[in-house]
Amino acid sequence: MGYIIFGAGGHGKVVLDNLRSNGDDIIGVMDDQWPEGEWRGVTLLGGLDQLDRIVRQYPSSLYIIAIGQNAARKKITTLFEQKNVRFGKAIHASAVISADAYIGEGTVIMANSVVNAGATIGRHVIINTSTTVDHDCSIKDYVHLSPGVHLAGGVEIGFSTHVGIAASIIPQVKIGRAAVIGGGACVIRNIPDCVLAVGCPAKVIKQFEESKE
């Protein structure tokens, strides 16, 4: 059993380092822009047009979708799910994960991050470098927590929301689905679905079209 990464971009580089930090077996990397050759010492297996062949060739492999943008990550994941593949987790060896935390499949947790007791992390979530998720937080599927984000206890983050670099969220705050929290924001009150909130304290400055996800 080994890992196959989809995505040979910047996020893919970090996912690759996560797997290497644990000594995991890496079969190769898929990418539509880099269909063959070698990338960072790993074999390029082909793009999405080769997915059926790759699934047949490596039936016991685990997949990680290494795409930082939430909607794009979900779109690609759905294609892989149709092939009934299995998704792994890419958790850096330096991350501190409570034995009482739940981590969903496909989730990536970068170096020096912390996930504390009672936290629930959904599927295909990104917890980026040096981010902290305190006790009893609930992070839904396809969320991206950027580097240096800090969530206090009991925070809820809705499906496919992106929290910008170094944002902080006080205890028990609820953030809706498909929202964007700006970098450096300090969130002290609940944030609804499909909005952009920025500043300290964070205020809603833009409404997005209702998410179809």
Active site residues: 135
Pairing label, strands 108-109, 126-127: parallel
Rounded Cα gap, residues 198 and 140, in angstroms: 21
For residue 130, with 0-12 CB atoms within 10 Å meaning exposed, 13-18 middle and 19 or more buried, which class applies? middle
Rounded Cα gap, residues 179 and 171, in angstroms: 18
Rounded Cα gap, residues 122 and 87, in angstroms: 13
Please say whether the beta carbons of 134 and 117 come within 8 A.
no
Reading the block at residue 172, the tokens are 């028990």
Please say whether the beta carbons of 43 and 26 come within 8 A.
no
Please say whether the beta carbons of 143 and 157 come within 8 A.
yes
Rounded Cα gap, residues 86 and 189, in angstroms: 38
Please say whether the beta carbons of 9 and 60 come within 8 A.
no
